[in-house]
Amino acid sequence: MDLNKIRNDFPVLKNDNELAYLDSAAMALKPRCVIDAVNDYYEKLGCNVHRGVYQLSYEATDLYEAARETIAKFINAKVDEIVYTRGASASLNLVAQSYGMNFVNEGDEVITTELEHHSSHMPWLNVCNKKKATLKFIPLDEDRRITVENFKKVLTNKTKVVAITYVSNVMGYITPIKEIIELAHSVGAIVTLDGAQAVPHMKVDVKDLDCDFLSFSGHKLCGPTGVGILYGKKALLEKMPPIEFGGDMADTVYMDSMTYKAAPFKFETGTPMIASAIGLAKACEYLESIGLDEIKAHENRLKNLAVKELKKIDGITIYNESCETGIIAFNIDGVHPHDAASVFDNQKVCIRAGHHCAQLITRNLGTIGTIRASFYLYNTEDDVNRFVKAVKEARDFFLQF
């Protein structure tokens, strides 16, 4: 990976060489090609899709639908298995609202984990409450990982849905998902996979995984905000009812009856996020041009380097040393994570502190929050050094009190 070239692709980094941006798990920075793709749409087309009967609108529609094909290829899906949404949260909610509310019944079981982001856990808590189904949790092992062995302990013939993260946004652990999917299918359950922290950082192939649903956001994979993807197996999307009505999803509408389009369009109401979808496709192409395997190895190498240095500092608790992605979850002993974060800010080190919308694992760790540094393709060893220096300074600063 040519890091100088990559950093030059990102205007935010080009504009400020001092910045150590270590918050890509919250949002990735945007490369020039994505910004240009978004701007080009507004400058050259700027009109709606699917409805205009004029050349400009045909061109916008072609770009928008070609983006769906690019995104489908990125995860090895078919184009009609790709639903545009507002983001991972909207995708995860769509599955729960449509599949969960219609195909989960009283007495059924839904399996999830304490490693879930709220957007993966809460929609199913809601379904289970409404449908009188039972929400069960896979016990985590001593490192707080999801294991196949522990999954087997909660899987039963009553399991209808497994709602599970592929990569935890707090611990960065990769779930052994292929085996879990195979076991879930053996009892007739479906698996809705939260890929928000996986798809941007590693090669994800939905056919190889055989997952039933996969949700992710554009903004975490160098794409624009306001767009996300729900991948769903065609047979499942076909039998699921829409959860929103109006706009483009309608087919024929009468005073007392209506029909709607086939999937994926029946889930897409109103004017879509055209520019963001086009930008997301460009981001997929950009990441592929660098190589997902290379990106994953790079992030993990930087994370390991940072962990090695952090371990030399007294008074630091690291929660996920063995993590195989680019996330470090830690605390400075006796210091509130938000207080620590403010010292990092003075050093131009951007990290996130708090519960990261994952209160279950934060509580399980026995803390009020963690400091999280997350690495991506544009980070360097220099960023690691700045980060470690900022941790030392924060520790020394708070040690006075």
Site for ligand 7TS in 309-368 (CB under 6 A): 352, 356-357
- The angle formed by the CA atoms of residues 172, 346 and 312, to the nearest 5 degrees, is 50
Considering the complex, what minimum distance in angstroms separates the CB of residue 314 from ligand 7TS?
A: 28
Q: Which two tokens stand for residue 119?
A: 């957007």
Burial of 392: CB neighbours in 10 Å, binned 0-12, 13-18, 19+: middle
Considering the complex, what minimum distance in angstroms separates the CB of residue 354 from ligand 7TS?
A: 9
Considering the complex, what minimum distance in angstroms separates the CB of residue 214 from ligand 7TS?
A: 11
Considering the complex, what minimum distance in angstroms separates the CB of residue 106 from ligand 7TS?
A: 28
Considering the complex, what minimum distance in angstroms separates the CB of residue 220 from ligand 7TS?
A: 6
Give dist(CA 379, CA 3) in Å, integer.
8
Cβ-based nearer residue to ligand 7TS, 88 or 104: 88
Q: Which two tokens stand for residue 156?
A: 């039963």
Cβ-based nearer residue to ligand 7TS, 120 or 331: 120
**Residue 35 sits in the site that holds ligand 7TS (CB under 6 A):** no
Dihedral, CA of residue 78, residue 79, residue 83 and residue 85, to nearest 10: 120
With beta carbons less than 8 A apart as the criterion, state whether 337 and 317 touch: no
Indicate which single residue of 194, 212, 268, 299 sits in contact with ligand 7TS (rule: CB under 6 A): 194
- Determine how β-strand 109-112 pairs with β-strand 159-165: parallel
Site for ligand 7TS in 104-123 (CB under 6 A): 117, 119-120
With beta carbons less than 8 A apart as the criterion, state whether 258 and 250 touch: yes
Indicate which single residue of 93, 159, 197, 276 sits in contact with ligand 7TS (rule: CB under 6 A): 197
Provide the mask over 77-106, with x wherever binding to ligand 7TS is found by CB under 6 A and - wherever it is not: ----------xxx-----------------
Which of left, alpha, beta for 87 (phi over 0: left; psi -120 to 50: alpha)?
Answer: left
**Residue 169 sits in the site that holds ligand 7TS (CB under 6 A):** yes
Size of the site for ligand 7TS (CB under 6 A): 17
**Residue 25 sits in the site that holds ligand 7TS (CB under 6 A):** yes
Catalytic residues: 357
Burial of 150: CB neighbours in 10 Å, binned 0-12, 13-18, 19+: middle
Task: Enumerate binding residues for ligand 7TS (CB under 6 A).
Answer: 25-26, 87-89, 117, 119-120, 165, 169, 194, 196-197, 217, 352, 356-357
